[in-house]
Structure 1
Amino acid sequence: MTETSETSQTSQDTAVRLDITVEASQEKAFRVFTEQFDKIKPREHNLLGAPIAETVLEPRVGGSVVDRAEDGTECRWGRVLVFDPPERLVFTWDIGPDWQVASDLEHTSEVEVRFVVESENRTRVELEHRNLERHGAAWESLRDGVAADGGWPLYLQRYADLLA
C-alpha cells in the first residue's frame, strides 16, 4: 500500500512539495529510487531528437542525471549535489521554462528527495523541487508543469509501482 499527498501551491510558491509512503525499508526505498531511476522517469519526457534508451542517475556527488538516446546522443539535465544513502539525494534541475537545458547554471533549481523511516519496512519519501524562481521569467509555468499530474506525481507513482 502506498499513500500520496500533495502540498497545495499558491501563485507565490517557489517550490513543489510532494510525499509518498511506501512499504519498504529506508535502504530499499533509497536504492530503488536511485538505481532504478530509469524506470521512474517517463520516456516521453524527452529533450533529445531520438527516443530515450535509458536515463542514468550517477550515484555520487558530482554525477549527472543524463538521458541517453537510441542514436547515442545524450542530454545531461541534472547534476548530483548530495548523495547520502539511505537518507537523502539532491540534484539540480537544469531544464528551463522553455523545456530546454539551461545554458546558464545560475538559472537552475534543485530537487531534494528525503527518505524518512516510519517503521522498519515503511518509508515516507519527501520530494521538494525548490528555488524554481531561479529559472527567471516564466518560472511559474515550470513550477506548474512539474506539479501537474504528468510531472513529479507521475514519477512518484511509477516509483511506488516498482516497490509494490
Structure 2
Amino acid sequence: MQTINLTSIKKEFTVEASQQTAFEVFTRKIDLWWPRTHHIGSAELTEMVVEPHVDGRWYSKHADGSEANVGYVMTYQPYDLLVLAWQIDGDFKCNPNLITEVVTEFIPEGPTTTRVKFEHKDLHKLGNGKVVESMDQGWGEIMNLYKQFADQ
C-alpha cells in the first residue's frame, strides 16, 4: 500500500457570482453550504460560523448546545482574500497549539464570474497517512458544495 504525503491541498474553480458574492457566500453564509457531516463536535451540527474579522472565531454549534473550535480568522480582506487558521489535528480534535492555514483567494474574472483559489497548507504538521489523504477528498466535496451554492 502506497502512502501519499501531501503538504497542501489545492482546489481551483470558477463560480458564476461576483467577487463580492463569492466572498460573502464563503464567509458569512458558510452555514448554508457546509456539510452537516463534517464536524468535530459530539452532537449533531446545527451551525457553522466564521466571524467576519481578523481574530474572529471559526467554530461549529451543536444540537446539545456545545461549540467546537475549528480555528480562527488570520486575514480578512473583503472581497479578495480569506486566511483561516485550521487547528484540528490528525486525530480530528481541536489543538490550540496547531496551525495549518486555509487560504482562499477570490479573483474577479468578470462582473458575474470569480475564480476561487483554495489551498490548505502545512499538512505535514498533521502527520501522514489516511487522515491527510481523506482530507483531499473531503475538501473536494466541501468546495463542490460551496460552488453549487455560490453559482445560484
The TM-score with structure 2 as length reference comes to 0.91
Cα displacement (A) at 1:40: 2.4
Q: Show the counterpart of 1:143.
A: 132
Aligned residue identity for 2:87: D
User: How many residues end up aligned between the 2 structures?
Assistant: 149
Q: Show the counterpart of 1:53.
A: 46
The counterpart of 1:66, out of the listed 39, 44, 59, is 59
Cα displacement (A) at 1:140: 4.4
Q: Percent of aligned pairs with the same residue?
A: 32
User: What are structure 1's unaligned runs of at least 5 residues?
Assistant: 1-9
Q: Contact between 1:27 and 1:86, CA under 8 Å: does it hold in 2?
A: yes
3-state DSSP of counterpart to 1:125? strand
Distance between the aligned counterparts of 1:13 and 1:86, measured in 2? 29
RMSD: 1.6
Aligned residue identity for 1:122: T
The counterpart of 2:117, out of the listed 122, 126, 131, is 126
Aligned residue identity for 2:133: D
Aligned residue identity for 1:32: V
1:1-164 equivalence runs, <5 A: 11-103=4-96, 105=97, 107-135=98-126, 138-148=127-137, 151-163=138-150, 164=152
CA deviations on 1:55-104 (whole Å, 9 max, x unpaired) are 1110000011110111110001111000000000000111111111125x
Aligned residue identity for 1:144: E
Runs of 4+ in 1 over 3 A off after TM superposition: 10-13, 139-142
Distance between the aligned counterparts of 2:82 and 2:5, measured in 1? 25
